[in-house]
Amino acid sequence: MEYRQLGESDVKASAITFGAWAIGGWMWGGTERKDAVEAIRVSYEQGVTSIDTAAVYGQGLSEEIVGEALQGIPRDKVQIMTKFGMRWDLAKGDFAFKSKDNDGKPLDIYKYAGKESIIKECEDSLRRLKTDYIDLYQQHWPDVTTPISETMEALAELVKSGKVRAVGVSNYDKAQMIEAEKTVKLASNQVPYSMVRRDIEKELVPYCIEHKKAILAYSPLQRGVLTGKIKEGYTFNEGDNRGESKYFTGVNLERINAFLDGLRPLAADKGVSLAQLVIRWTLEQPGITIALVGARDARQAIQNAAAIRLKLSAGEIAEINRRLEGVKID
C-alpha cells in the first residue's frame, strides 16, 4: 500500500481509503452488517488503514459499523475520517433534500454547521465510532446559513481540545476554501472525481496543488458504473437511487460502456479488473491524494486494495486520457 500525507497536517492515510457510504445502506439499497464489518477488517489486513465515513450515512449506522469493525485494532494504526453538517434530526439550516431512512420512512436532510451543532455532532460521532479522537473531521457540505468563519472556529476548538487531529472540508469550491483558511488551516477537500466527472481539474486541483491541500476523490468508480458491470436494464435494489443518476441511463451509459470496452484489453494485459484499472488511474492524476472506494464484502475489499500494485506507464495513462476525450456526458 502507498501512504500519503494529508496536506501539511501530520496525518498520513492509505492512498486507497475505505469509503463507508454504502455500508450505511442509505441510498444504496441496504447493507449486511456482518459483511460490512468483515470488509473493513480485511481492508486493514490489506494495508487500507484509512476509513472515511459520515454521520449521515445510514443516520449513524455507518459510523457504528466502523466503530465495531475497528475494535481490537490498535487505534494509532488506523486513520478515521468522518464528516458533519448533514442533520436529519434537526430542521435547521439549509434544506438539502427529501429522502428516506433505511426503513423507508420519509427523511428531511438539512445542511447545518453552526458551532453548537458541530460540537454535538463530534461527540455523537466519537461515541458511535468508539474512539476519543477523529483523525480528519470534515464539513460534509457548505452551509449557506452559517458563516464559514463560525464553522471553522468550532473545528479549531476541537483540534485544540485533542478531539480532532486535522480539519478538512468536502464539496467546497476554491473561494470557500480560501475563506475557511482565514480561520483554520485545512488539510484537505473531499470532492467527487472520476474518469467521467473531471470538472475539478480546471480550478480546484491547481489551487490545492499550489497550496498543499490534499484532494480526497470520492466516487472514483462513479458509484459503480465504471466497473463495467452496469448494463442497460440493470435492476437496482429497493432504496438504491443510482438508477436516477444520469451516468446510469440512456446514451450516457452506452458511451461509458463503449469506453470501458476499449479499456478491457489493457486491463486483461495487466491481469486486473476494470475497477482496479480505474482506481489506479485516479491515483495517478495530478493533485489527487486519496481515492475513496467502498466495499460491501471481503471479496470487494481485497480487489480494491490490490489496485495499488498496478503500474501504469505515462504512455498508458496518456492513451486512456485520449480515449476519455471522446466520452461526452449529457
Give the integer Cα–Cα distance in Å for 321 and 330.
Answer: 19
Query: What letter would DSSP give residue 78?
Result: -
**Can 207 be counted among the known catalytic residues?**
no
Closest alpha carbon to 117 in 56, 52, 185, 64: 56
The answer to whether 49 and 77 have CB atoms below 8 angstroms apart is: yes
Query: What letter would DSSP give residue 145?
Result: T
Give the integer Cα–Cα distance in Å for 168 and 97.
Answer: 23
Give the integer Cα–Cα distance in Å for 203 and 209.
Answer: 10
Q: Is 30 exposed, middle or buried (0-12, 13-18, 19+ CB in 10 A)?
A: middle
Helix, coil or strand: residue 132: coil
Q: 170 forms bridges with which residues in the sheet?
A: 190
**Catalytic annotation, pick one of 44, 57, 172, 193:** 57
Can you give the length of the chain in residues? 330
Within 10 A of 241 (CB to CB), how many other CB atoms are there? 15
The answer to whether 27 and 219 have CB atoms below 8 angstroms apart is: no
The answer to whether 96 and 112 have CB atoms below 8 angstroms apart is: no
Helix, coil or strand: residue 300: helix
Dihedrals phi, psi of 217, to nearest 5 degrees: -85, 115
Helix, coil or strand: residue 291: strand
How far CA 58 is from CA of 27, 29, 69, 70, 291, in Å, comes to: 9, 11, 16, 18, 21
The catalytic residue positions are: 57
